Amino acid sequence: MMQPGEYYVGDLCYVMKEDWDEFCSITIQDHHVFNGEFSLADGRKFAFTQTAYGDGSYPDQYGNYYDVDAGLIGCIRIEDIRPPMPRPEIERLGNIFTFHHPFEVEGGVENERWDGIIVIGHLLIDTDPKGEEDEVEDEV
């Protein structure tokens, strides 16, 4: 469970550059990427899940877009980004949201019934826009 606070939401490779080696050592084992919540050695927390189709640009229900280059979308508290980045730069790389209550990050390719929606608290990010088209075609 992620704690309340102000978070960057987007592809974590953009804001965790300095921590990327540690990120990979925590989240990848034997060529398998594990989705979920994690802690760096210094206690900073982050969470993510892989997108349905890897890199691209994916919308949430509010019309915000998330550009992806590492095949994942996640979150980390703004204050935990190292080195600190100016807010305009963070906003250019992803989106900033304040979560007022503890929240979860859900979704991922491990679930065979997953519909491509990444859930980050109240955010619903659709990483499988083809899924909607497939449903319409199935109904016809």
Taking the CA atoms of the chain, what radius of gyration do you get in angstroms? 15
Look at residue 50 in the predicted model and tell me its pLDDT. 95
The beta-carbon contacts of 88-92 under 8 Å, at least 24 apart in sequence, are 90/8, 90/15
Task: List the pLDDT tens digit at each of the 140 positions of the chain.
Answer: 999 999 999 999 999 999 999 999 999 999 999 999 999 999 999 999 999 999 999 999 999 999 999 999 999 999 999 999 999 999 999 999 999 999 999 998 777 788 999 999 999 999 997 755 544 444 44
- Predicted model pTM: 0.91
Per-residue confidence (pLDDT) for residue 131, from 0 to 100 = 59
> How far, in Å, CA of 60 to CA of 12, rounded?
17
Is the Cα dihedral 14, 17, 19, 20 positive or negative? positive
Q: How far apart are CA 43 and CA 99, in angstroms?
A: 19
